[in-house]
């Protein structure tokens, strides 16, 4: 069983699958190359598609791969109309978001604190719109919840000034950010239907969490691919 969650969606040009991995796989840049290689091989076998990774930099750049060119672009969102590519957004507390258009385009977005504040999800939606995508839906993957993601007061204010829905309080009463609520607000503002996969990475030991495990944390992934 490769995936924690897996669903399929009929689209105009075939079938799109959306999936999320858990701690059984480590897709992190710091993972042992053999471990990450095995994880990618498992995803390739399960999807029948070529895994496509980005070098995530907490920005708003959207990359459009048009083939399995082996690139590892600096970007936090991937969108494509091509079949046969399994787009990965990797995270350990940040929000992995998968996008599916009824017209067949797909996207994978890594939305952390900076990505939410700077609007990487709206940027991906704009790029999909430019590609002619219609009828967008989103799957929001496991991430750290608003009751766990403690931040300094000034940081909460800075992010909430851009995305008010992110303002939150931890279960122990200190300033926090709810990145999932922020992403949901951004998607809903654009008229995109949202499905929540659920799960707090910090609380659920089956998920990778940077807040819980520190620099040694692995990475889970949201994976989206189209089959003609």
196 binds Zn ion per the rule CB under 5 A: no
Q: How far is the CB of 145 from Zn ion (least distance, A)?
A: 3
Q: Which residues contact 69 (CB under 8 A, 6 or more apart)?
A: none
Name which of 85 and 200 has its Cβ closer to Zn ion.
Answer: 200
Q: How far is the CB of 211 from Zn ion (least distance, A)?
A: 9
Interface residue with Zn ion, options 7, 42, 114, 203 (CB under 5 A) = 203
Report how far residue 130's alpha carbon sits from residue 26's, in angstroms, rounded to the nearest whole number.
33
200 binds Zn ion per the rule CB under 5 A: yes
66 burial via Cβ count (<10 Å: 0-12, 13-18, 19+): exposed
Q: By C-alpha distance, which of 169, 176, 172, 128 is closest to 151?
A: 176
207 binds Zn ion per the rule CB under 5 A: no
129 binds Zn ion per the rule CB under 5 A: no
What character string, x for contact with Zn ion (CB under 5 A) and - otherwise, covers 133-152? ------------x--x----
Name which of 126 and 212 has its Cβ closer to Zn ion.
Answer: 212
Q: By C-alpha distance, which of 178, 152, 149 is closest to 164?
A: 178
Q: How far is the CB of 200 from Zn ion (least distance, A)?
A: 3
CB 49 within 8 A of CB 108: no
Report how far residue 29's alpha carbon sits from residue 37's, in angstroms, rounded to the nearest whole number.
11
204 binds Zn ion per the rule CB under 5 A: no
Q: How far is the CB of 113 from Zn ion (least distance, A)?
A: 15
CB 154 within 8 A of CB 219: no
In the complex, the residues that contact Zn ion under the rule CB under 5 A are 145, 148, 200, 202-203
């Amino acid at each position: 069983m490769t995936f924690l969650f897996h669903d399929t969606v009929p689209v105009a040009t075939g079938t799109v699958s959306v999936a999320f991995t858990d701690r059984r796989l480590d897709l992190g840049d710091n993972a042992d190359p053999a471990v990450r290689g095995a994880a990618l091989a498992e995803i390739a076998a399960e999807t029948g598609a070529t895994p496509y990774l980005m070098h995530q930099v907490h920005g708003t750049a959207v990359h459009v791969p048009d083939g399995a060119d082996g690139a590892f672009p600096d970007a936090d969102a991937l969108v494509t109309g091509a079949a046969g590519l399994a787009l990965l957004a990797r995270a350990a507390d940040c929000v992995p978001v998968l996008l599916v258009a009824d017209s067949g385009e797909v996207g994978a977005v890594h939305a952390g604190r900076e990505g939410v504040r700077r609007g990487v999800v709206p940027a991906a939606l704009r790029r999909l719109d430019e590609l002619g995508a219609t009828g967008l839906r989103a799957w929001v993957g496991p991430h750290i919840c608003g009751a766990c993601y403690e931040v300094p007061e000034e940081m909460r204010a800075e992010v909430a000034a851009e995305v008010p829905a992110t303002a939150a309080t931890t279960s122990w009463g200190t300033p926090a950010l709810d990145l999932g609520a922020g992403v949901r607000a951004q998607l809903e503002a654009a008229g995109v239907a949202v499905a929540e996969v659920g799960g707090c990475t910090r609380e659920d030991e089956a998920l990778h969490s940077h807040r819980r495990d520190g620099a040694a944390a692995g990475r889970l992934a949201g994976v989206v691919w189209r089959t003609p």
